[in-house]
Amino acid sequence: MQLFPLTARGAMVRRRGKVLVGPVDLTLEGQGTSIVIGPNGAGKTTLLKMLHGIVRMNGGSLGWTCPLDEAQKHQAFVFQTPVMMRRTVIENIAYPLRLTGTGRKEARALAAEWAARVGLGAILERQATMLSGGERQKLALARALVREPQVLFLDEPCAALDGRATREIEEILARAAASGTRLIMSTHNMGQARRLADEVIFVLGGRIHEFGPANDFFAGPETAQARAFLNGDIVE
């Protein structure tokens, strides 16, 4: 099943009369890593949730190459503060497999394999709620990737992590991208954006202000607002 391209046309999210995102016109192809950047409150999180299909749109259209319910089966989302179920590490990772009908033995074997890949192989039976911030984010990534999704959305997954944990998360993401998982991720860390991005989506005021190859964007943004943002100035 091939999901891409993902196409949004006039897509909009409005709450209590206020437009949070949109109208958005955007086409994303099926390879690489798209990094969403912009000032606080620009609409990055809402944009990701809209593209993923977990917030209701109030206008426009959003389409994959297959019906939305089928596309949802091949996606995953990692939140800035992941929810940890009151279960062990291995049970957390195995959970999405069990939901889709995988047998317990096979699900646990795959979960153990993914735990090892993200550096949690030694603590399979630890309660997930007892993990550190970095360990929780690794678990969230393993839980998302264990189903081998075609596309993974991530909302500032390293926002609360120190340098070492951030580097470890980036290594996991780089391996996922190299294996063919399409990444669409927001970040406030411009160093991280430069390291990971193949293309940049610069969001301002709920709209896509600039969109293009990362090398071009970081070498010379087209707009004064984007240049100011990269310089660390306040942009509204």
- Residue 209: the pLDDT is 95
Question: Residue 57: pLDDT above 90?
Answer: yes
pTM for the model: 0.94
Beta-carbon contacts of residue 155 (< 8 Å; ≥ 6 apart): 44, 45, 48, 49, 77, 78, 79, 80, 185, 186
- Residue 68: the pLDDT is 87
Question: Residue 160: pLDDT above 90?
Answer: no
- Residue 170: the pLDDT is 94
pLDDT, the chain, mean: 94
Confidence of residue 183 (pLDDT cuts 50, 70, 90): very high
Q: Are 184 and 152 in contact (CB under 8 A)?
A: yes
Tokens 């310089």 map to which residue?
231
Question: For residue 107, is it within any domain?
Answer: no
For residue 164, which phi and psi values (nearest 5 degrees)? -65, -45
Burial grade of 178 (CB within 10 A; 0-12, 13-18, 19 or more)? exposed
- Residue 17: the pLDDT is 87
Question: For residue 103, is it within any domain?
Answer: no
CA torsion sign for 202, 203, 208, 209 is negative
Confidence of residue 54 (pLDDT cuts 50, 70, 90): very high
Question: For residue 226, is it within any domain?
Answer: yes
**Cα–Cα distance between 48 and 10 in angstroms, integer?**
15
- Residue 124: the pLDDT is 97
Question: For residue 43, is it within any domain?
Answer: yes
Question: Residue 73: pLDDT above 80?
Answer: yes
| Domain limits for position 25 | 6-84+131-230
Confidence of residue 114 (pLDDT cuts 50, 70, 90): very high
Question: For residue 110, is it within any domain?
Answer: no
- Residue 165: the pLDDT is 87
Question: For residue 199, is it within any domain?
Answer: yes
Taking the alpha carbons at both ends of the chain, their separation in whole angstroms is 41
Instruction: Report the CATH number at residue 139.
Output: 3.40.50.300
How many domains is the chain built from?
A: 1
Question: Residue 236: pLDDT above 80?
Answer: no
Question: For residue 105, is it within any domain?
Answer: no
Confidence of residue 108 (pLDDT cuts 50, 70, 90): very high
Question: For residue 92, is it within any domain?
Answer: no
Confidence of residue 58 (pLDDT cuts 50, 70, 90): very high
Question: Residue 1: pLDDT above 80?
Answer: no
- Residue 176: the pLDDT is 94
Average pLDDT over residues 153-159: 93
Confidence of residue 42 (pLDDT cuts 50, 70, 90): very high
